Amino acid sequence: MGSISESATVPYRPTPADITLENHRPGDPAKILFQNVRILDSTGRLPYLGSVLIEGERVVAVGQVDPSATEGALIIDGEGRKTLMSGLIDAHTHLSWNNARNLDDLIKLPAEEHVLFTAHSAKTYLDCGYTMCFGAAAARPRLDIAVKASIKSGLIPGPRSLANAPEITTTGGAIAPSISRYADGPYEMRKAVREAIELGADNVKLSMTGDNFVDDMPSQDTYFTLEETVAAVEEAHNRGKRVCAHARSAASVKMCLVAGVDVIYHASFIDAEGMDLLERHKDSVFVAPTINLPIATCAGAAVPYGVTVELAEKQGLRHEVDVACTAMTEMHRRGIRMLPGGDYGFAWTPHGTYARDLQHFVTRFGYTPMESILAATALGGEMMGHPDELGKVQPGYYADVILVDGDPLADIAVLQDQEKLHAIVINGHVHKHVR
């Protein structure tokens, strides 16, 4: 892409989007006391035994709770072994991906059914302990936006979310043509971003590269120019919106960093120059590797859908997984803010299996279980734009917590088992409580 100039980069913080919920309503307990729980507070401190008091939609006391403050509280007992922790984030959420067999089947569901499916995905996230979802493109223009509004009003259950619109791509560069918004050149980029903002999107998605999963569109191919990337980011940032990008190639990662993209997805083929640039920008950018889909495909999960392990190998997926895991291990070493999550909603990586990502961070990128949990909680609060209210169990934070029957530090996979989630509370509302 020629010489890289960082002059286009302006230190920037997107305006925090509205993540408030109105579902603390009459009938919800005024107070909830978690007692005798192992508190994993996401400050980095090791779990310790204590109590957590919730009042209304917020956590008000953690550790020692004044008994006189707990009168009338719903009491949930952890029996000294259950772990109370923040709800999780999926950093690359597609609520409207409908467990299809391929990208173009994502739109084959009629619109009415698609709305219901998207609402159901949102509930599934919450059922799995996910209280934060960072939208990474919708299959129809307003699906994320409508579902977010319905969750906010209490009409349907779901996580706090940042909504996205259809992903923006260039002519000839669409990996999912039927669900893409096309734009070529800086002026059309600006218009496409403005359209997403007009719809009500919190996030804008750029699909900048190929994807080994798609025939004749290798992951190393780059379909955006720097000029287009800069125009899209400038337009979004002018309106306080975040930009995330499907960026698998080395060139695309550098364009993202120069242009000021907020969230880089995949980054599999990042080169040495890109890695150094990323490190220099580590306080203003997040990376979500979104590695589960290629890992699952290489492991044969897609065989029932016609993608054999041999085909996955031929498509370059195994090579990409190998290269990406090496890159992510190096990013971890350099302190890049990496978050789990991503691309759930295909037939062999269906909704409900999200927490596999936390395990991949441990087994593939060299994270400790604690680091993986911090990435899925505290960093989630940062990515959602509310680091002082989301992602930790601390006084003043929103009461978005899960009670796990087990020790996720001893076995990170316990978070994949919905039956081990004995309580799920969001905004002080009890979504689930197993007695």
Nearer to Zn ion, 93 or 416 (CB): 93
Q: In whole angstroms, give the CA distance from residue 150 to residue 184.
A: 34
Which parts of 80-143 are beta strand (E)?
Answer: 83-86, 88-93, 130-135
Nearer to Zn ion, 78 or 294 (CB): 294
- Name the residues that contact Zn ion, by CB under 5 A: 136, 343
Nearer to Zn ion, 135 or 274 (CB): 135
What is the H or E stretch that residue 253 is in?
helix 250-259
Neighbours of 46 (CB within 10 A): 10
**Shortest approach of Zn ion to residue 38 CB, angstroms?**
34
**Shortest approach of Zn ion to residue 308 CB, angstroms?**
23
Nearer to Zn ion, 136 or 307 (CB): 136
Residue of 89, 115, 167 whose CA lies nearest to 354? 89
**Shortest approach of Zn ion to residue 136 CB, angstroms?**
5
Nearer to Zn ion, 136 or 259 (CB): 136
Token pair for residue 372? Answer: 């993986």
Nearer to Zn ion, 130 or 397 (CB): 130
**Shortest approach of Zn ion to residue 291 CB, angstroms?**
12
Residue of 357, 394, 348, 401 whose CA lies nearest to 376? 357
Burial class (CB in 10 A: 0-12, 13-18, 19+), 326: middle
Q: Which amino acid is at 369?
A: P
Cα dist from 380 to 134, 162, 347, 393, whole Å: 9, 12, 26, 13
**Shortest approach of Zn ion to residue 164 CB, angstroms?**
10
Q: In whole angstroms, give the CA distance from residue 340 to residue 344.
A: 11
**Shortest approach of Zn ion to residue 316 CB, angstroms?**
18
Q: Please give the span between the terminal C-alpha atoms of the chain, in angstroms, as a whole number.
A: 59
Nearer to Zn ion, 60 or 217 (CB): 217
**Shortest approach of Zn ion to residue 361 CB, angstroms?**
18
Neighbours of 435 (CB within 10 A): 6
